[in-house]
Amino acid sequence: MKHVSYCLHAPEDVDDCLRAFQEQCPPQPSALLVSLFTSWMDEAIVLRVLESVRQAFPKAVVVGSTTAGGICHGALSQGSTILHFQAFETARVQALSLDLAETTLEEGAATLVAASGEQESLVAVELLLACTAASVNAFLDGLRELPSELPVFGGVAGWDEAKRSFVLEGQRILRQGIVALFLTGSELHVQVITSQGWSPLGPCFLITAMTAQNVIAALDEQPAKLVYEKYLDLRSEDFVWDNLLFPLLLERNGHALLRLPLSVTEEGGLVMGAECRTGENVRLAYGDPGEILDASGVLHRDMERFAPQGILLFSCVSRRYFLREAVNHEMLPLQDIAPCDGFFTGGEIARLEDGSVPLLNMTLVAVGFREGAAKCAAAHKPTGAGKNALKGAMKLVRHLAHFIAVTSRELEQANVRLVDMAITDRLTGLYNRGEIENILKKELSNRRTVALPLSAIMLDLDDFKKINDVYGHAVGDQTLQWVGETLRHSTRRGDAAGRWGGEEFFIILPGADVNAAMLVAERIRQGLSKGFALPDGKRVTASLGVAEFLESASYMDFYRRLDAALYRAKHEGKNRVCVAE
């Protein structure tokens, strides 16, 4: 395939570019795709350019989109139009345009899915959309019906200050519409790779109310804007630019998705750049230019392994605004691999492994194209990428972001230690009484909805006071530590063992009936009596009570039956296991 692009700084440049490509175009391509990525919002000018393309290449498939900046030869090109040619040797291209003035988004998705089923050897679907972030999800949700392994990629049309945007197909311009390209052919290979680079910051928040698919009304039952005011001192009037550093990060089906706040409602809600869902957990995220460039370096290596003949980029306009002069550092290395072009979008599209096709924010989507087998090329180190390429303000931001990352990591580790201290018995390393009671109450509550047995064991060391009196408290502490070690080795991963108090211990056995619990209790009893010897050679023994939770019983009923079983084991001679009646 042949992948060639030209940068038009003025409409009259088109004729020279068309003549230049006519000299390079293969004589009989199987398909010719011409893409127009333009920052010119004047429809009359764009239509004149399209007419010139039609006259020069009447059989070409022509599509396009307005942009928030073009990408030509791996570099940002502002105020221009990118004329992008893909001439295929064996592959085919078919375009489908959907006018949203004539069809709904749901109907449009169904039409696209049906049309894809008519394509022989369908390899990928490219999308160009002119519609709002608030509405596009209704269309993208319907694309789950496409074959699960089919790559889907693309972008939302960029706009100017007047928020004008459109997509085009042939001579048709759509201000509210969708253009889809079906790429087919057994020799065609398409690789879609994404890169983000933003890092989580601070605590987790729950989305507790939404007023639209892209408007978060409340986080943790509070107006959503308060998160930005409290943690970042960002006010409503700051959101146009300052929040580029701090999108929200959520995890959905194992995938990290960035969501950029665009504005604040009068009620304190956050208008996001893509849809969110009630019940999802989100965190603030911060942009570290060094990490962003490092992440794009991974994308470069993965793309080089694919060995493309051409690369198409869809990059978020907010990513461009954040990285500023450093934005070319993550794109130019791709030009070293293969001709690289594209545009900055109002939202990126890339299908995830779970089959969903979400609208993305703050993401770089790179699409590699190749016909035939990959040709082995000498490995090279792309130039210009990496955190060392940063200069000026971006270098300062990188160092501050590194400071935030280190201090945040240390704080999280300290919080983990504090949580462990709050629920753990210091001497034995088992749960303390408060936590074991919480676990027991939770398990008892679960039993009322889950038809599985639940049993527990209460353990009391025999004559422990004599151990302290005769051998000293140091030996007593060693004895308790031995009990903790024995319980950890005698229980399953899902069981919970804790120190109830003094020399008493409590073991919760989810899913175990009374017979299984008796076996565990006997294993514990024997393990204690065999492995640890007191200074004079005597062995440590314990008495154990076992009970299974009975349906409709209360927490106190269950505890009384366990305590009674332990009391009986003590008074029937100690060093034994007794089952509750």
Q: How many CB atoms lie within 10 A of CB 143?
A: 21
Distance in angstroms (rounded) separating the CA atoms of residues 501 and 499: 6
Q: Which of 406, 210, 198, 427 is nearest to 318 (CA)?
A: 198
Structure tokens at 533: 């010897």
Give Cβ neighbours of residue 134 (< 8 Å, ≥ 6 apart).
212, 213, 214, 215, 275
Q: How many CB atoms lie within 10 A of CB 346?
A: 27
Place of tokens 């009322």: 448
- CATH number listed for the domain at residues 433-579: 3.30.70.270
Chain centre to alpha carbon of residue 213: 18
Q: In what order do the strands lie in the sheet with 61-66?
A: 2-8, 81-88, 31-38, 61-66, 167-169, 172-174
Question: Among candidates 49, 13, 16, which has minimal Cα distance to 34?
Answer: 49
User: Is 452 strand, coil or helix?
Assistant: coil
pLDDT in tens, the chain (581 residues): 999 999 999 999 999 999 999 998 988 999 999 999 999 999 999 999 999 999 999 999 999 999 999 999 999 999 999 999 999 999 999 999 999 999 999 999 999 999 999 999 999 999 999 987 667 888 999 999 999 899 999 999 987 666 789 999 999 999 999 999 999 999 999 999 999 988 888 889 999 999 988 899 999 999 999 999 888 887 766 666 666 678 999 998 888 999 988 888 999 999 988 899 999 999 998 888 888 888 899 999 999 999 999 999 999 998 898 888 889 989 999 999 999 999 999 899 999 988 899 999 999 999 999 999 988 655 555 544 456 666 655 665 666 666 777 777 777 787 777 777 788 998 999 999 999 999 998 888 877 677 789 999 999 999 999 999 999 999 999 999 999 999 998 898 889 999 999 999 999 999 999 999 999 999 999 998 887 788 988 889 999 999 999 877 788 899 999 999 999 999 999 999 999 98
Q: How far apart are CA 41 and CA 65, in angstroms?
A: 10
Q: State the pLDDT at residue 383.
A: 47
> To which residue do tokens 């007023």 refer?
211
| Catalytically annotated residues | 503
DSSP-derived letter for residue 431 is B
SS (H, E, C) 497-538: EEEEECCEEEEEEECCCHHHHHHHHHHHHHHHHHHCECCCCC
DSSP secondary structure, 13-60, as one string:
GHHHHHHHHHHHS-SS-SEEEEEEEE----HHHHHHHHHHHHHH-TT-
Helix, strand, or coil (residue 107) = helix
Cα separations (Å) of 322 from 232, 242, 287, 292, 352? 17, 9, 8, 11, 25
With a threshold of 0.75, does the pTM exceed it?
no
CB 282, CB 259: distance < 8 Å: yes
CB atoms within 10 A of CB 396: 12
Report residue 2 as tokens: 């042949």
| Rounded CA separation 225/219 (Å) | 8
User: Cα separation of 240 and 238, whole Å?
Assistant: 6
> Residue 232 has what pLDDT?
84
What's the CA gap between 265 and 218, in Å, rounded? 11
What is the bridge-based pairing of β-strands 152-156 and 348-350?
A: antiparallel
Beta bridge partners of 75: 72
What's the CA gap between 533 and 543, in Å, rounded? Answer: 17
Integer Cα distance of 299 and 242 in angstroms: 27
Please name which of 570, 579, 500 lies closest in space to residue 542, comparing C-alpha atoms: 570
258 forms beta bridges with 249
* Alpha-carbon dihedral sign for residues 35, 39, 41, 45: negative
